[in-house]
């Protein structure tokens, strides 16, 4: 008798079923093969190839400089690593805001060249035509509202969004619009927990929060942040599950010291 058990892949439908039965969804960012392999093995439901790669992988101050080609490179590395997680890829700044034809062509490149399972786009009513056109091609779309880092120069700061009534009402209306258009999920970033809960209760599709409290359907964190690799980023919403900055620093220091002392390699570490 064979004991072979095929891996049950997470799909956009799995996420909807999870919301329906009130099971929380876990999502983490991933940008490279080795890390994505571990994240997938751990059982994380969704890996987001976020344009935060621009910050944590390339060292840019904002997410704006990363290109479509660079996102495809990161996404392909993640897709090759994954056997279970759903892989969602950010459409980078400048690849979809021009017009819906350009948006569709960018989304198709991500699906075709990287083998991604879905794309994510920042914005509401202002990008709805592009969202609809991409969906028409059979490409699943995840929305992103609240703090949308691609618009950082419009906002001016990374402070909590939608605290005022007018902006909160606009966010709610955008969430409904994205749901009506056919998005399978929406990320809500850095908004008051009460508002995020209200959105999650109002729309039927899964709402994934970052800095949006626990009343939503799932959570996402940037993997480098939650592992404590960058010790200079400490927002209130971030829980650090490790202090890899310190652990890596100590490992590198120990390696230097071993090399200098001719302790590495020893007799058993050579041919």
| Phi–psi pair at 29, nearest 5 degrees | -80, 160
123: DSSP letter: B
Q: Which stretch binds ligand KIV (CB under 6 A): 43-51, 104-112, 134-142, 198-206?
A: 43-51
Q: Is 204 exposed, middle or buried (0-12, 13-18, 19+ CB in 10 A)?
A: exposed
Q: Which stretch binds ligand KIV (CB under 6 A): 50-58, 110-118, 198-206, 245-253?
A: 50-58
Is residue 185 at the binding interface for ligand KIV, with CB under 6 A as the rule? Answer: no
CB 91 within 8 A of CB 106: yes
Is residue 51 at the binding interface for ligand KIV, with CB under 6 A as the rule? Answer: yes
Is residue 225 at the binding interface for ligand KIV, with CB under 6 A as the rule? Answer: no
Tell which one of 210, 216, 227, 229 touches ligand KIV (CB under 6 A): 210
CB 181 within 8 A of CB 135: yes
Is residue 222 at the binding interface for ligand KIV, with CB under 6 A as the rule? Answer: yes
Closest CB to ligand KIV belongs to which residue?
50
CB 207 within 8 A of CB 198: no
Is residue 146 at the binding interface for ligand KIV, with CB under 6 A as the rule? Answer: no
Which of the residues 23, 180, 189, 269 is marked catalytic? 189
Is residue 200 at the binding interface for ligand KIV, with CB under 6 A as the rule? Answer: no
Instruction: Specify whether 122 is catalytic.
Output: no
For helices 68-81 and 33-42, the axis angle rounded to 10 degrees is 50
**Window 9 to 38, contacts with ligand KIV (CB under 6 A):** 29
Is residue 187 at the binding interface for ligand KIV, with CB under 6 A as the rule? Answer: yes
Q: Which stretch binds ligand KIV (CB under 6 A): 12-20, 47-55, 125-133, 233-241?
A: 47-55
Is residue 52 at the binding interface for ligand KIV, with CB under 6 A as the rule? Answer: yes
Residues 104 and 139: their CA atoms lie apart, in Å, by 9
Q: H or E stretch including 112?
A: helix 100-114
What is the total count of residues that contact ligand KIV (CB under 6 A)?
11
Is residue 46 at the binding interface for ligand KIV, with CB under 6 A as the rule? Answer: no
List, in order, residues 6 or more apart from 265 with CB less than 8 Å away. Answer: none
**Pairing, β 25-29 against β 141-146:** unpaired
SS3 46: strand
Please state the closest distance from residue 90 (CB atom) to ligand KIV, in A: 5
**Window 59 to 98, contacts with ligand KIV (CB under 6 A):** 90
CB 116 within 8 A of CB 110: yes
Other CB atoms within 10 Å distance of the CB of residue 224: 20
Active site amino acids: 189
List contacts with ligand KIV (CB under 6 A).
29, 48, 50-52, 90, 187, 189, 210, 220, 222
């Amino acid at each position: 008798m064979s004991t072979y058990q095929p891996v049950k892949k997470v799909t956009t439908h799995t996420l909807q079923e999870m919301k329906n039965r009130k099971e929380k969804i876990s999502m983490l960012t991933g940008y490279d093969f080795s890390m994505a392999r571990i994240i997938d093995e751990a059982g994380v439901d969704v890996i987001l190839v976020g344009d935060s790669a621009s910050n944590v992988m390339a060292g840019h101050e904002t997410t704006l400089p990363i290109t479509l080609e660079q996102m495809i490179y990161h996404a392909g590395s993640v897709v090759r690593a994954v056997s279970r997680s759903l892989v969602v890829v950010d459409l980078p700044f400048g690849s979809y805001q021009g017009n819906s034809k350009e948006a569709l062509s960018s989304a198709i490149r991500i699906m075709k060249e990287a083998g991604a399972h879905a794309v994510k786009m920042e914005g509401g009513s202002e990008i709805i035509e592009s969202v609809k056109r991409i969906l028409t091609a059979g490409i699943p779309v995840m929305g992103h509202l609240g703090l949308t880092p691609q618009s950082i120069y419009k906002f001016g700061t990374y402070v909590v969004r939608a605290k005022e009534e007018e902006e909160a009402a606009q966010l709610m209306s955008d969430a409904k619009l994205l749901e009506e258009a056919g998005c399978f999920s929406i990320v809500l970033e850095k908004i008051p927990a009460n508002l995020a809960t209200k959105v999650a209760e109002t729309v039927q599709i899964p709402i994934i929060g970052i800095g949006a409290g626990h009343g939503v359907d799932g959570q996402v964190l940037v993997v480098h942040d939650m592992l404590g690799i960058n010790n200079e980023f400490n927002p209130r919403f971030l829980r650090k599950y490790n202090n890899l900055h310190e652990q890596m620093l100590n490992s590198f220091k120990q390696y230097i010291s071993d090399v200098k002392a001719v302790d590495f390699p020893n007799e058993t570490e050579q041919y």
